[in-house]
Structure 1
Amino acid sequence: MKHPYPLGFRARVRAGFALMSALILFGSLQAIENWREIPPEDFAVKASSIDPEASVEILFAEHKASQELISNTDITAGIMTMERSLVGNRTVYVRMKVFNELGVDLLSKHAIRPMHGEKVVDVAARTVKPDGTSYELDEADVHKLLVEETEDESQKAETFAFPSLAAGDIVEYQATFDIDDVGGVFTRFSDRFPARRVTVRIKPTDAISHRVISFGFPLDKLNQKDGDYYLYEMTDVRAELDEKYAVPPMQAEPHVVMFYVKEYFPDPDDFWDDFSSELASYAKKDFKPSKTIKAKAAELTAGAKDDSEKLRRILKFCTEEITNFVWDFTKYSETERKELKDNKSPSDTLKNGYGKPRHIRALFGALATAAGFEARYVAIGNRDEFFFSKEVSVKQVVDERLIAIKDGESWLYFDPGNPALRFGELSWKHAGSQCMMGDFRDPIFAVTPGIKSEDAVVQTKADLEISEEGTLSGKVTKTYIGQKAWVKRDQYRKMTFGEIEEDVSDTELRHYSNVTVENVSMKNRSDEDLPFVISYDLKIENYADVIGDRLVIAPALFQKELSLPFVKEERLSDIVFDCPWRDVDRIEIVMPEGYQFEAGDAPVPFALGDVVLFDSKIRINKKKNSLVLQREFRVNQEIIPSKAYALLKSAFETMKIEDNKSITVKKADS
């Protein structure tokens, strides 16, 4: 089935991987080159010239890529068809100086991550000592690691440790990538280490027109050439932005994007007009209901009391009765999937009972149309990668799709390709974002509904007791609601129960060294209409401080000893949370027999305007001889300007002080 998704180019920029993973391109196969001679002055470098605190500095990083357009002819049943595709290759050569033991540790697991459509075909690495001795990476020491799986491909990184590495050494690595049918170049200059020089050479095919845009890269250097190659070079590049909850890298660091266009590139208004019409054309074709689609829509909506119930039934059918290849890994094995027929239309998806998310979205649109609704494709970006603005007239920044259904004078938005979402709910990656609906006359720009803190809640209930020795134990139940439920379901969608149980046991309260989590159970893992619930038995040895016949207890055990998210004195990026959220805790701790309350320091509520609210109360339940903590923390705004960083940092520091307040209990007869 043809679909309104940009061909190929769906670059995913991820922080924390080698800079070599930030370029997509293709060309004739280039082999790993011979290692270059290292001049003495490279070994003489004692500290980074860009950031004196850096543990590693990239002395140079060179990327070279080329591509070509090829034609493939196929003759089946006497019919000849011809397809054209982009193929090619890219290579990378990087040299780094390691200054200290932290740098050695940071390079103990180095990852080479391919981008969309890429396959690593060759990797080489070596460590060179100051005396010239060289230790080369053995092929057997390179391991594959699955880092992402989309509806179209699995992405595996190559990981390795540089051999015999010590402070003062120089390391080098090279890699060659084979690329198949990907239509653009995404160049990111920043890496996790500062770089003295980053050079990128790109040779696009001359068979297709292309366009180049930049973010934070000098405009006057966009069209420099080195023979047949475009040349992009930056010096003294600072390390990638190391700030928690930062804006997407593409908008915080220098990038150059090259992509292929039609014979001409229109001005922004004409661009969106053309794209809107194109999107509307796909919707007209995909959503035109066949007889089988009409019959199924009639069956699903029979007896529905109103339009809302009709849409709920259609959505429920698409998300529960159609096997989603990105979410359901139980019905078909990987081998069986490869043998399944591809869906050419929503009717095929209905007949076959399976599909990728895009197939299921198209089926939902067709069924809704057959039921009398007006359905549109919606082009939208991913807030985790880019904040879309119509001033950036590039399809690739709105390369994800939703379905919009006309509701009076407004629109309802759905993502039927994501079965973990509730009716009318969008992922935080799409919520509160500018989008465009396809229309034959004029593009319809809109903003999807945002998320409120009550739409993303984690409720924690703990019924515990503490021993005279200070050991805390009991039952914990965590209830995830709305966006928090979706995030958990997404996290666990490919895991078996045993793997989930192991993950919970390994991650819950791991800021304590003496914690044990056992007997993990779950509720509503697959029912998106209900909260997702995880329960487990908890034991923390020596939780309370034992001072003679007294116990000093901090009731906020889920926050006690947690590190602060904001520690730097200054901030460059705005603070970007996934979405507003709310944490609600009720912790009850039964004291040992014979102990009673002696003293305590009550937490003090505070608020940062309407943006951040904290409330915490501790009371004594004399009947049960227990301490009861009622705590709520709420953030009502997902993007906070950097100029307010000092206030936000202070709020989190204040909350940590309040969460660490303790209650003292002692034996009654002492």
Structure 2
Amino acid sequence: MIKRSLCLLLLSATAYAGDPKYPVSAIPADLLKNAHVVTRLEEITVKMHSLKDLRVIEKRVLTILDENGEEHAGFHEFYDKDKDIRDISGVLYDAQGNVVRKLKKSEVTDLSAVGESLMDDSRVKTHDFHHRIYPYTVEYEVETSRSFTAFLPGWLPQPDEGFAVEQSRLSVTVPEDYKLRYRQFNYKGEPVQAVNKGDKTFTWEVRNLAALEPESMTLPIQQRTTAVFTAPSDFSYGSYTGNMNTWNDFGKFILTLNAGRDQLPDKVKAEVHALTDGLKTPEEKIRTLYQYLQKNTRYISIQLGVGGWQTFDAAYVANKGYGDCKALSNYMFSLLKEAGIRSHYTIVRSGDDAPDIIEDFSMNQFNHIILCVPLGKDTTWLECTSQTLPAGYLSDFTCNRAVLLIDETGGKLARTPRYAMQQNQQLRNIKASINPAGDMSGQVQTVYTGLQQDWCHKLVNNLKPEKQLESLKRMFNLPSYDIAKYNYTAKSAAGVVPEMGEVLDITASSYASVSGKRIFVTPNVLNRSGTKLDPEKKRLSPIQLSYPWKDVDTVQLTIPEGYKLESIFQEVKLEEKYGRYSAKATVNGNQITYVRVMEKNDGVFPATEYEKLAKFYNDIYKADRNRIVFVKAE
């Protein structure tokens, strides 16, 4: 009897081991091309039981082909008092599809998701099998329940380049009389709809999506592949309910959340009047109160429940001296209101490289708050979390994008300023000398304006001096150099883009190449383009060039005595719709004068322009490395 039971057990184990799932060999060959990860199966199932009950089950089976796909191998799920993680399961498979091991509940890490937030009830559960024998497959299934419906899951089957997909599906079920809103991109046809027992279900599905090839200067990933955004009509958030059918409706909900939260303490009211009653213009009052805000408050993230959208009141900020973007913007709103100046709480998607929102689809696409102050034909925009930016300047964090402006009637779309080429300049003058060994030493004086000074502003205001120097010593494309001394001077005025002056004392060993009787000098010292493109590569997606800018470099180099000019490159002039470039060098005795001008335009261009764009940038790359040759005089 014991022998028979042992035999059956062995047979069962053999059958289990011999019944592999998701073997890598089953992946179609065309899905392996350019791929680091293959989604074998993805199923996102969403069911709205009511405005206060949303259930989501997410199942993903991913084959990790190499270390470049490793970042996608684990999972993390955020939760708080309004979102509960009901169940988590996971399985690790080897390349043949055999089970290596299963996830144990004790292996899931549960962490606070507070980060640098002062108050936040958000937590995160994470797990990673930490398997490094490629290829391998991970399967995770996570079930969550939420007591709010202000956010509905979206669908992006290919979240990154190098991501192939065998099968992916999104299914959303809502009450039959509920209006589910959606916007889809790069999806053929409409979702399959089914009605069953008072519910209706929308299903989107894709199969066999080849991996996107890595391409530079591209549109955001959600514009290059299949994506579906879903949004509520009526919804709940905390104890509040609202409607999101239009931007105006969304704005009305924000108004309701923040109603009555603009009351200042009497002491602060008195300070506002003491600061502004004697000032003549609104611009002066705005600048003065903005400086008051910067001096008396600091940014701290606060995310508690509905506080993810609802601001802390102005009195709280006045008493504590801190707040998040919502609270500080509301506080500035309250200060201006007390001074008789109207302003608007404004919702924005922030980030240096953040994609613009979908303007014709009202949903929460934002992560930050700023303030808009209309002044007749002009408008002042205020970044209320910064203690260093001048009044009226937004930086690349929030400029040139659609925002939701909240006024007394609700919400409406507006656009933050776009800084033009003439506002984003780098004007550099270099005076240096080269010794007989080819070493260079000299001084660099640069003026940065607008978006070109943003990095410089962060360097000066966010880093300690020793870290500033470390950063500067990694900045330039020189084999070996040192910075003996540096200095920065900021200049700004209300309504004018800021300016930063920089002075560097720099040395570079073996800058010029000395060979026998000759010395080879590249007169473009610090601004050589690093962009080199393959004109033969087939371009698939449109080309996106970011903000416009202009660089002007003027270089004066003194070479050792006793040399005469042997050869010099001809002046280079290039002009395309992407920008303009010129570079010219002249020699007078042992003095080289070099002037380089580069103007880069912004915009989106069709993929068919890639070959011409590649030639333009490659010609610049080559021209930036042109050399002048001197030979010893006999």
- The TM-score, its normalising length taken from structure 1, stands at 0.72
Structure 2: gaps of 5 or more residues: 1-15, 303-309
Contact 1:107 1:161 in 2 (8 A): no
Out of 90, 94, 102, the position equivalent to 1:128 is 94
Contact 1:479 1:534 in 2 (8 A): yes
Distance 1:411 1:57 in 2: 47
The more displaced of 129-138 and 244-253 is: 129-138
Deviation, 1:530, is: 5.3
Distance 2:620 2:114 in 1: 35
Q: Which residue of 2 aligns with 1:587?
A: 555
The more displaced of 171-180 and 58-67 is: 171-180
Q: Which residue of 2 aligns with 1:8?
A: none
Contact 2:35 2:163 in 1 (8 A): no
Deviation, 1:544, is: 3.3
- CA change 1:652–1:176 in 2 (3 A) is same
Deviation string 1:270-309 (CA, Å, 9 cap, x unpaired) is 6233234445556763445553443232122143232211
Contact 1:251 1:386 in 2 (8 A): no
Deviation, 1:372, is: 1.3
Deviation string 1:322-367 (CA, Å, 9 cap, x unpaired) is 11226xxxxxxx9xxxxxxx98311221222111122111111111
Out of 157, 166, 187, the position equivalent to 1:217 is 187
Contact 1:126 1:135 in 2 (8 A): yes
Q: Which residue of 1 aligns with 2:155?
A: 187
Contact 1:110 1:159 in 2 (8 A): no
Contact 1:278 1:438 in 2 (8 A): no
Distance 1:97 1:273 in 2: 44
Report the AA paired with residue 297 of structure 1.
V
- CA change 1:260–1:346 in 2 (3 A) is same
Contact 2:372 2:382 in 1 (8 A): yes
Report the AA paired with residue 286 of structure 2.
L
Out of 68, 73, 76, the position equivalent to 1:106 is 68
Write out aligned runs for 1:251-270 (5 A): 251-262=223-234
Q: Which residue of 1 aligns with 2:380?
A: 412
- CA change 1:558–1:604 in 2 (3 A) is same
Distance 2:369 2:399 in 1: 13
Deviation string 1:529-555 (CA, Å, 9 cap, x unpaired) is 853456656555544343321122222
Distance 1:596 1:349 in 2: 69
Deviation, 1:129, is: 5.0
Contact 1:322 1:355 in 2 (8 A): yes
Out of 315, 318, 333, the position equivalent to 2:290 is 315
Write out aligned runs for 1:78-477 (5 A): 92-96=59-63, 98=65, 104-107=66-69, 112=74, 114=76, 128=94, 163-165=131-133, 169-172=135-138, 174=140, 183-190=151-158, 191-200=160-169, 211-221=181-191, 223=193, 231-240=203-212, 242-262=214-234, 271-279=246-254, 285-287=260-262, 291-325=266-300, 344-382=312-350, 384-388=353-357, 390-392=359-361, 394-398=362-366, 400-428=368-396, 430-441=398-409, 444-476=412-444
The more displaced of 659-668 and 441-450 is: 441-450
SS of equivalent to 2:598: strand
Distance 2:470 2:174 in 1: 49
Contact 2:21 2:97 in 1 (8 A): no
Distance 1:480 1:399 in 2: 29
Distance 1:175 1:460 in 2: 56
Report the AA paired with residue 239 of structure 1.
A
- CA change 1:654–1:59 in 2 (3 A) is same
SS of equivalent to 1:396: coil
Contact 1:127 1:162 in 2 (8 A): no
Contact 2:255 2:406 in 1 (8 A): yes
Deviation, 1:111, is: 6.7
Work out the number of aligned pairs and report it: 592
Report the AA paired with residue 586 of structure 1.
T
SS of equivalent to 1:184: coil
Q: Which residue of 1 aligns with 2:8?
A: none
Bigger Rg, structure 1 or 2: 2
Distance 2:485 2:180 in 1: 54
- CA change 1:419–1:646 in 2 (3 A) is farther
Distance 1:88 1:635 in 2: 48
Contact 2:298 2:387 in 1 (8 A): no
The more displaced of 354-363 and 174-183 is: 174-183
Deviation, 1:459, is: 3.7
SS of equivalent to 1:649: helix
Q: Which residue of 2 aligns with 1:56?
A: 36
Q: Which residue of 1 aligns with 2:480?
A: 515
Deviation, 1:657, is: 2.7
Structure 1: gaps of 5 or more residues: 1-33, 71-83, 99-103, 327-333, 335-341
Deviation, 1:261, is: 3.8
Q: Which residue of 1 aligns with 2:598?
A: 633
Write out aligned runs for 1:545-556 (5 A): 545-556=513-524
Distance 2:533 2:195 in 1: 44
- CA change 1:175–1:280 in 2 (3 A) is closer
Contact 1:599 1:663 in 2 (8 A): yes
SS of equivalent to 2:318: helix
SS of equivalent to 2:260: helix
**Are 1:650 and 2:632 an aligned pair?**
no
- The TM-score, its normalising length taken from structure 2, stands at 0.75
Q: Which residue of 2 aligns with 1:606?
A: 574
Distance 2:424 2:561 in 1: 39
Deviation, 1:217, is: 3.0
Report the AA paired with residue 285 of structure 2.
K
Distance 1:157 1:477 in 2: 51
Distance 2:500 2:219 in 1: 29
